[in-house]
Structure 1
Amino acid sequence: MKRLVTTLVILLVVIIAGMTSLVFLINPNDFRNYMVNRVEQKSGYKLAIDGDLRWHVWPQLSILAGQTSLTAPGAKEPVVSAQNMRLDVRLLPLLSHQLSVKQVMLKSAVIRLTPDSEANEPDAPIAPAGSGNQDVSESDNGWKFDIGHLSVEDSLLIWQRAQSDQINVRDINLQMDQSSSRQATIHLSSRINRDQRDLTLNVDANLNMQNYPRQFSADISNLSYTLTGADIPSKGISGQGSLQARYQQNTNTITLNKLSLSANDNQLTGSGQAVLSDVPDYQLNLQADKMNLDEISGWQPSSSKSDGTQQQAQAVMSAPVIARDIDQQQNGLSVLNGFNAQLGLKAVAVTYRGLAIENLDLQATNHLGEVQLSKLTGNMGQGTFSLPGTLNSTHQQLEVSFAPELTNIQLGDLLHAYNLPQALTGSFSMQGKLGGKGLSLEDFDTHWQGDAQMSMADAHINGLNIQQLVQQAVARSSNRVQGMDRYQMYSQIQQMQASGKLRNGELSLNNLNAESPMMNFKGEGKVNFAQQQADMNLLVRVTGGWQGDNPLIATLQKTDIPLRVFGPWKQLNYELNADQVLRQQLQQSARSALQNWIDSRTHNK
């Protein structure tokens, strides 16, 4: 046992002595220029290392460097700069005069993807195809260079897309291992904070760089994320994803396959493609069995508009005022102005503001901010909808235009989805053209115009029984007739049609006609969406439910009685002049009877 221990101690002393001797015999600055030259020969980038390189023996044989930067040709600022760089090297290759780097570690690095860090060599000659793979002499002062692992810790990425649009990706921790066949595995974690919104990311991926730079691919096996903050549901948005991506240099194209992404209760699959030209062109095809958009937006149902505002505030944090002002100034969709795109989305079941939508089919194209919605169709209950249209985000305010076609959609569900009083419910159908500025409910209430033909079946005018109003008014004026004893808090309409004109939130209804077994009416009026008020002038003819004097009933069944319905949707008022009409009808009947008697006496003489 003592001999074994003695042998191990001697072996350890020899190793330590050998490493110490190696450190003293080999100066890391001997291959400093080689590393700088090789980086520039292979990529054109300039590697700058401030100060001397020095050895660090324990616990890992390493070379330490001070301030380090990597700058693109002609760039004003470095692409990568780090306060410290560490090269972990293998011991045995050093004995044969080879520098084999197990790991390069950058700590507190700053990565800049900004206009100032981009290459700027307008007069530089273009290298021939494949020049990036030409063999470069591996020796400089007898050294050879190889890297197996890259580590980036606690670093920052600055991504500037426009002059005033900068995104900072913080807390970057990257671990990358590569094999001799130019295969690499990557684990990345980071955090993005912007406009009081926080996004955390974790990515595991495999890279294939065998044909780099002509072609390379990535297989992202796991992407997990969590988004919290302003205008995000209180519980946040989180999910996982995976995809396969490939880049082709000759066409400057990124192709996405086997795309899978979840967001709370939503799961999307599909494929895509991006052509990264001066004007990027994107194509995306997505499918989903189930989508719950309320889980992402934080929408919650409520019994009234005020309650809805309170519940919405509890579900979603408000965005900062500055962020809201910027979004309003850029009309919310101004990001569409910088690229072309095609989007196809098909979903079996969708939940939006409590509405259950089936077989959703969306087909849209974008050309530099001019969007064509060639198809937006789906089913709601027993009804269908089609909402083709256009959006234009190239102006200061978003301009929209739609040609809706609704068939047998339950109007009560739509009113409930937008927290509006259900003054009128039933099976709603419409054809028309509508448009204006903005997409919010407030925009519709103030900035939209259009024309439409509307109809309803099995409709209820809630809170107002027109038939019984008329019958009670007549009964008060004459004891010869009375109406039905059973009282209902709604008017039941079998069929109703009208044509409408929408102007800045006020809907004018013309040629209004309604039919039911016991009542018909016609008329016109206005509905103000912003103030949630109505003013309707109707001529009502009650044809059933009368009891009493048959001649008078026969007269009433042919008489149109004026009725004005006005006021807030939640509490409608009415004006009814039944007694005046009744007196006129009785006077007319009396004059007719008297004239008939005179005519008959004259004829007998």
Structure 2
Amino acid sequence: MRRLITTLAILVVVLAAGMTALVLLVNPNDFRNYMARQVEQRSGYKMTIDGNLRWHVWPQLSILSGRMTLQAPGATQPVITADNMRLDVNLLPLLSHRLSVKQVMLKGAVLRLTSDSQRRSPDGAPVAPVDSSQLTSTFGDDWSFDIANLRLSDSLVIWQQPDGNELNLRGVNFSMSQDRHRQVSFDFSSQLSRNLRTLQFSLNGEMDASQYPDRLSAQVDEAQYQLSGPDLPEEGIKGKVSFDAGWQNTGEHFSLKNIMLSANDSQIDGNISGSLTGYPQLNVNLHAANLNLDTLMGCELSGGSEQSGALSRSQPPIIALPAIDNSANSPLNKIDATLAIVMDKLQWRGMTFNNVQLDATNHKGLLTFSRFNGKSAEGNFSLPASINVRGKYTLVSVKPDLQDLDVAPLLKAFDLPVVLSGKLSVQGALAGKGMSLEAAKQDWQGNASLQLQEAKFSGLNFVRMIQQAARRSNGLVQSDEQEATGTLQQLSASANLNNGVISLKDIQGENQVMTLQGQGQVDMQHRTTDVLFAVTVAGGWKGDSQLVQYLQKTPIPLRIYGSWDNPDYSLHLDDILRSQLKDEALKRLHQWQNGQIKG
């Protein structure tokens, strides 16, 4: 044991002495011009290092530098700027005049992906072959240069989008390592802030660069993200994603396969592929086991009662609201795309749909939804539509076909008063500007036919209202409360939508004791209603036979009007009864007069 310890101690002393001698004998500044020329020879970029290079021995033999920049030819800004650079080098290759860099580490770097940092040729400059004599190393042709690892720490990436806006990725931590077969492992984390929203993410995976630049393939094992900020759920949107990515230089084809995405309680999987040659092509094929748009969009139920309950969402401060833009600038105008998505479960504004299928195409800004259908409880829906974003305004056209959907959740979803329940069927055609609910309430037009089965007016029983008014006006008439049902077997109407006003015509409804007709309008912008019904109660009466017969055949005017928060109604039964009594009195007076003349 003592001999082993002595041997190890001697080995440590020899290594320490060798490293000390190497540090003393080899000046790292000898590599400065050589590295700069090698970088320029291999990439064309100019590398500048300020200050002296110096050794750093523990815990890794490294070369430290001061400020460094990397600038493309003709660019006005460097593509990379770093206050500090560290080169971790291998010891043994130095003995044979080889600079083998295990890792390049940049701390506090700024990476500019902007037009100012791009390679640019001088105006009018001819294209000439590179003069290789200018790139010859005077340090010695027997030196070689090799990098296996790259690391960025606490860095910033400035990314300029095609429209000129810049995105800043802050707190960038990136590490990449590759072996001699060009198999790469990478780890990346950063934070992106925009419009008071913050996206934090991290990912890791592997990449096969053995056939680069002809093709690349990568596998993202797991990426985690969290999006928070105004107009989002309080807990934000967070989840995980993994996928396999591929790139083929011929035709600039790309693919994302085996996508597995979670976002809060939503889960999506599928594939995306496309081509960037000429006019970009995009093909999306997805499947969602559950897609909860309410939790993703920050919508939640508010209000305690069924009549007042509505959907609300957290509102962003004014500064965070995006500016109204010309839809002609939409990226959809620059691509062709197809979309096919199957949703086992879809939740939207408090409603749940099952087996939802969506097939859509986009051709230079004209979106066509050839199929958008699904089921809900005992009902189903179909919403074929087209959306045109080629002009200044987004133009929407949709032909709804709803069958036996619960009307109460629909009214609540569109922020309308929940005064009806039953199974709704709708067939129609609508069109207008904008895609939001507010746009539909203000700038859409169209017509539709409405049918409602087992319709019931919440808080309103027309039969009971008329019978009670009749008893108060005339004690000779009574009613059967058990027959005073407020449910209509069917209720139908034709509707016209014009810039937020729904005009209802030819309202027809009936049950076993009542029939009604009517017309009116609903103003969605001012949240008011004005509907006039003519209600005929044919059953449930007792008492004076002549008066009952008269009420059974006479339509009673019933008007419902006012704001949604405080509606009012008027029932003109007293005037009708007084008119009937007057007519009856006149009839008896004429009979008495005729009897006197004959006598």
Note whether the superposition's TM-score is higher than 0.5.
Answer: yes
Residue of structure 1 in register with 2:495 after alignment: 500
Distance 1:10 1:86 in 2: 30
SS at match of 1:176: strand
- Choose the corresponding residue for 1:514, options 509, 514, 519: 509
Q: Distance in 1 between matches of 2:268 and 2:65?
A: 46
Moved more, 35-44 or 76-85: 35-44
Q: Deviations over 1:420-473 (max 9, x none)?
A: 431122111111122333333333332222211111110011222212222233
Contact 2:483 2:540 in 1 (8 A): no
Residue pair 1:403, 1:434 contacting (<8 A) in 2 also? yes
Taking the TM superposition and a 5 Å limit, the aligned residue runs for 1:293-442 are 293-303=293-303, 312=312, 316=314, 318-324=315-321, 326-329=322-325, 334=330, 336-418=332-414, 420-442=416-438
8 Å Cα contact 1:462-1:491 kept in structure 2: no
Q: Shift of residue 419 of structure 1?
A: 5.0
Task: Quote the Cα distance in structure 2 between the aligned partners of 1:597 and 1:41.
Answer: 125
Deviates more, 1:1-10 or 1:533-542: 1-10
d(CA) in 2 for partners of 1:275, 1:71: 30
Whole-Å separation in 2 of the counterparts to 1:22 and 1:330: 65
Equivalent residue pairs, number:
588
The reply on whether 1:568 has 2:554 as its aligned counterpart is: no
Aligned position for 1:268: 268
Which deviates more, 471-480 or 494-503? 471-480
Please give the secondary structure, in 2, of the residue aligned with 1:422. Answer: coil
Give the stretch that moved more between structures: 211-220 or 362-371. Answer: 362-371
Q: 1:553 aligns with which of 548, 559, 562?
A: 548
Aligned match for 1:544, one of 539, 544, 549: 539
Task: Select between 216-225 and 393-402 the one with higher mean Cα deviation.
Answer: 393-402
Q: Which residue of 1 aligns with 2:238?
A: 238
CA distance in 1, matches of 2:437, 2:328: 15
- 1:279 is displaced (CA, Å) by 4.9
Partner of 1:284: 284
Change (3 A) 1:193 1:570: closer
The answer on whether the counterparts of 1:379 and 1:385 sit within 8 Å (CA) in structure 2 is: yes
Query: Is 1:81 matched up with 2:85?
Result: no
Q: Once the two structures are superposed, what CA deviation does each residue of 1:255-284 show, in whole Å capped at 9, x if it has no partner?
A: 110011111111110000232346543222
Q: Cα distance 1:215–1:48, how it changes in 2: closer, same or farther (>3 A)? A: farther
Range with greater deviation from structure 2 (365-374 or 558-567)? 365-374
- Kept after mapping to 1: 8 A contact 2:483/2:513: no
Change in Cα spacing, 1:498 to 1:388, as seen in structure 2 (3 Å) is: same
Deviations 1:325-347 (A, max 9, x none): x3434679945445443222211
Q: In 1, Cα distance between the equivalents of 2:73 and 2:372? A: 48
Partner of 2:179: 179
C-alpha separation in 2, matches of 1:333 and 1:322: 22
Distance 1:541 1:571 in 2: 26
Could you tell me how far apart the structure 2 residues matched to 1:151 and 1:62 are?
Answer: 14
Q: CA deviation at 1:60?
A: 1.5
Q: Is the 8 A contact 2:536 2:552 kept in 1?
A: yes
Taking only aligned residues, the RMSD between alpha carbons, in angstroms, comes to 3.3
Report the Cα distance in structure 2 between the residues aligned to 1:124 and 1:103, rounded to whole angstroms: 38
Q: Which residue of 2 aligns with 1:158?
A: 158
In the alignment, the residues of structure 1 paired with residue 309 and residue 592 of structure 2 have an alpha-carbon distance, to the nearest angstrom, of: 67
Deviations 1:212-232 (A, max 9, x none): 111111100010111222222
The alignment's TM-score, normalised by the length of structure 1, stands at: 0.88
The 3-state SS of whatever aligns with 2:301 is coil
Question: Which residue is 1:111 aligned to?
Answer: 111
Q: Distance in 1 between matches of 2:328 and 2:461?
A: 44
CA contact (8 A) 2:309 2:412 kept: no
SS of 1:23 mapped into structure 2? helix
Counterpart AA for 2:513: M
Are 1:16 and 2:16 matched, yes or no? yes
> Once the 2 structures are TM-superposed, how far is the Cα of residue 39 of structure 1 from its aligned partner?
3.1
CA contact (8 A) 2:449 2:495 kept: yes
Helix, strand or coil at the partner of 1:328: coil
Q: What is the CA distance between 1:307 and its match in structure 2?
A: 8.4
Aligned partners of 1:405 and 1:432 also within 8 Å? yes
Q: Where does 1:238-257 land on structure 2 (aligned, <5 Å)?
A: 238-257=238-257
How many angstroms does 1:478 deviate by? 3.6
Counterpart of 2:161, as a letter, is R
Change (3 A) 1:242 1:84: same
More off after superposition, 517-526 vs 38-47: 38-47
Deviation at 1:190, TM superposition (A): 1.1
Whether contact under 8 Å (1:519, 1:543) holds in the other structure is: yes
Q: Classify 1:561/1:307 alpha carbon distance in 2 versus 1 (closer, same or farther; 3 Å).
A: closer
Change (3 A) 1:97 1:186: same
Distance 1:156-1:527 versus aligned 2 partners, 3 A rule: same
Q: Does the C-alpha gap of structure 1 residues 231 and 572 become closer, same or farther in structure 2, counting only changes over 3 Å?
A: closer
Higher deviation after alignment, 235-244 or 468-477: 468-477
Structure 1 unaligned segments of length 5 or more: list them: 128-135
Deviation at 1:193, TM superposition (A): 1.7
Q: CA deviation at 1:589?
A: 7.0
- Answer whether contact 1:302 1:419 (CA < 8 A) is retained: no
Asked if the contact 1:36/1:47 (under 8 Å) is kept, the reply is yes
Instruction: Decide whether aligned partners of structure 1 residues 44 and 215 sit closer, same or farther in structure 2, where only a CA change above 3 A counts.
Output: farther
After TM superposition, give the deviation of residue 418 of structure 1 in Å: 4.6
Q: 1:173 to 1:553 in 2, by over 3 A?
A: same
- List per-residue Cα deviations over 1:503-523 (Å, max 9, x = no partner): 121111111111111111112
Q: CA deviation at 1:184?
A: 0.6
Q: What is the rounded CA distance, in whole Å, between the counterparts of 2:392 and 2:483 in structure 1?
A: 54
Between 215-224 and 1-10, the greater mean CA deviation after superposition:
1-10
SS in 1 for 2:418: coil
Letter in 1 for 2:377: G
Local SS of the residue matching 1:141: coil
Partner of 2:133: none
Is the 2:522–2:528 contact (alpha carbons within 8 Å) kept by the matching residues of 1?
Answer: yes
CA distance in 2, matches of 1:333, 1:457: 45
CA distance in 2 between counterparts of 1:141 and 1:21 reads 24
Q: Contact 2:328/2:392 (CA < 8 Å) preserved in 1? A: no
**Which residue identity lines up with residue 540 of structure 2 in the other structure?**
G
Quickly say closer, same or farther: Cα 1:202–1:543, change in 2 above 3 A.
Answer: same
Aligned-partner residue type, residue 270 of structure 1? G
Alignment partners' CA distance in 1, 2:169 and 2:504: 54
Q: Which amino acid aligns with 1:375?
A: R
Greater shift in the superposed pair: 188-197 or 385-394: 385-394
SS at match of 1:580: helix
TM-score normalised by the chain length of structure 2: 0.89
Hey, what's the Cα distance between the residues in 2 that align with 1:54 and 1:264? 50
Identity between Structure 1 and Structure 2 (%): 42
Contact 1:301 1:417 in 2 (8 A): no
SS of residue matched to 1:300 = strand
User: Aligned-pair distance for 1:206?
Assistant: 0.1
Q: CA deviation at 1:52?
A: 4.1
Q: What is the DSSP-based 3-state SS (H/G/I as helix, E as strand, rest coil) of the residue aligned with 1:211?
A: coil
Q: Matches of 2:195 and 2:334 in 1, distance apart?
A: 22
8 A Cα contact 1:468 1:484, kept in partner: no
5+ residue gaps, structure 2: 130-135
| Residue in structure 2 matched with residue 65 of structure 1 by the alignment | 65
Q: Report the alpha carbon displacement of residue 172 of structure 1 after superposing the two structures with TM.
A: 0.8
| Displacement of 1:32 | 3.8
